[in-house]
């Protein structure tokens, strides 16, 4: 039951965002390319904080790409989880300083 409600909620969010942004498939493709660019860029950086921030931006872009490309769960789920992990480590790093 909870899984069904979650899927309905995601479909409603997708509908609202699609109506709000009027996104066409070409824009979704550019978001996917920018996500890849951010992920690759995160491998070039040396400062761990910058790596986490750039990687998190890439993951957010991949989540958006997955939503606008037809709810691609194998793209949305891992990138959403990685994004939360990056946020956790960024906040934990600030507390330890």
**Short-list 52, 50, 57, 59, CA closest to 81:** 59
Of 96 and 86, the one with more pLDDT: 86
Kindly report the pTM of this predicted structure. Answer: 0.76
User: H helices within the chain, ranges in order?
Assistant: 2-21, 25-44, 48-68, 73-96
Whether the CA torsion 16, 74, 59, 88 is positive or negative: it is: positive
pLDDT digits (tens, 9 = 90+) for 30-41: 899 999 999 999
**DSSP character for 41?**
H
Angle at 40 between CA 30 and CA 95, to 5 degrees: 110
pLDDT digits (tens, 9 = 90+) for 10-25: 777 777 666 655 667 7
The mean per-residue pLDDT over the stretch 47-67 comes to 93
Average pLDDT value for the chain: 85
In contact, 23 and 68? CB cutoff 8 Å: yes
Share of the chain above pLDDT 70, in %: 84
For 85-96, the DSSP string reads HHHHHHHHHHHH
Per domain, the residue ranges of the chain are 23-96
């Amino acid at each position: 039951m909870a899984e069904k409600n979650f899927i309905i909620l995601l479909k409603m969010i997708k509908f609202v965002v699609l109506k709000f942004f009027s996104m066409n498939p070409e824009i979704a493709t550019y978001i996917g390319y920018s996500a890849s660019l951010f992920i690759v860029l995160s491998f070039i950086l040396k400062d761990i904080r910058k790596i986490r921030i750039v990687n998190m931006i890439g993951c957010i872009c991949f989540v958006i790409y997955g939503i606008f490309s037809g709810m691609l769960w194998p793209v949305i789920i891992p990138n959403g989880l990685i994004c939360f992990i990056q946020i956790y480590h960024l906040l934990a790093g600030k507390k330890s300083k």
